[in-house]
Chain A
Amino acid sequence: MSLGEGKQHLELAQPPKAVVKRGASALVRLPVRLEDGYHVNSDTPEDEYLIPLRLRWEPGPLVAAKILYPQPHVETLGFSKKPMAVFSGEFEIVTRFEADPKAPAGPGILGGKLRYQACNGTTCFMPKTIDISLAYEIQ
């Protein structure tokens, strides 16, 4: 759908390089910062119509075994009759990657996508997806 491009209202810092031994796992922290006054729905919003925050990684020699989102704030916003589970300010999404025991050693880049939908107190913005590149090295 062709919609206005608009601002993103959410910034990602470059995650640090993931160094993982074959057959082992490592945690990678993805720092997220939302513009003041804005929030995104949590990964588990209360309302089925709301668009959750969702991090996905492409398949590769590093496998995202678990994605850990922070504890959301539960707030009753001006436009909501019931409390909503949201993220705002600065937070991290942590991924536990596992390297296949037979994965080839060496460096690589793993792609990912973060999908979110941001609102402020009166307005919601179109859902957006940010591409992520994670540098890694399998030892």
Chain B
Amino acid sequence: MSRPLLAIALACLLSSACSLPTGRSSIKAESERKAAPNFSLKDSGGKTVQLSDYRGKVVLLNFWATWCGPCKMEIPWFIDFERELKDQGFAVIGVSMDDEGWQAVRPFVSEEGINYRVLLANDSIGELYGGIDSLPTTFVIDREGRVAAVHIGLVSKSRYANDLKQLLENNPAHRAGTRNSGGPAVVAGRG
């Protein structure tokens, strides 16, 4: 095997990139997806929210903190996705890892104009999701509640847009031929 091909093969072994059905998406093949662990966390109003409440939707589960610069860069993208895609069975959930709790998070959410649901992490959610050591860490979850992609660190808006486009197109209604347009509108990624 030539050196470039060997390098590509090695990269494939070390990442999920080789399971990609499309060029710029990070979405794993369905057979490789594992169930996203369910959790039960509170939102700013004290309401208990479970991941299982979102079954049937594509979910972008973003672990973030108010002190995390790269997280702050992504938030406007997620605001766009929530606004543009929520009617297509999509939701963003932000899980704040701030130790200071709502005292720090609530004003930040207001200042940034966050339009999606924000929850506060508890002691166990980080471990439940494999030990969240760095932020942002984002799980893209399919309609069946399985992890379809994981992004650690800042990635581009277009990467997310491509992931979401692929998952939203995989819609049971779409498969049954009840959709009559050329596919879901996905916010153009320029990041």
Whether the pair B70, A2 counts as a contact (CB closer than 8 A) is no
Whether the pair A1, B97 counts as a contact (CB closer than 8 A) is yes
Whether the pair A124, B135 counts as a contact (CB closer than 8 A) is yes
Whether the pair B104, A49 counts as a contact (CB closer than 8 A) is yes
Residue of B73, B134, B136 with most partner-chain A CB within 10 A: B134
Q: Give the dominant DSSP class at B's interface.
A: loop
Contact of B133 among A49, A78, A122, A126 (CB under 8 A): A126
Query: A114 to B138, alpha carbons, bound, how many Å?
Result: 29
Number of A residues contacting the other chain (C-beta, 8 Å)? 23
Q: Give the dominant DSSP class at A's interface.
A: loop
Query: A125 to B132, alpha carbons, bound, how many Å?
Result: 9
Interfacial residues, chain A to chain B (CB-CB below 8 A): 1-6, 49-51, 77-80, 84, 117, 119, 121-127
Other 19 A-B pairs with CB < 8 A, given A1-B122, A78-B154: A1-B99, A4-B127, A4-B133, A5-B131, A5-B133, A6-B131, A79-B70, A79-B72, A80-B73, A117-B67, A119-B70, A122-B153, A123-B70, A123-B136, A124-B70, A124-B71, A125-B134, A126-B134, A127-B67
User: Could you name 14 residue pairs across A and B whose Cβ atoms are closer than 8 Å?
Assistant: A2-B123, A2-B124, A4-B131, A49-B66, A49-B67, A50-B67, A51-B67, A79-B70, A119-B69, A122-B153, A122-B154, A122-B155, A124-B70, A125-B134
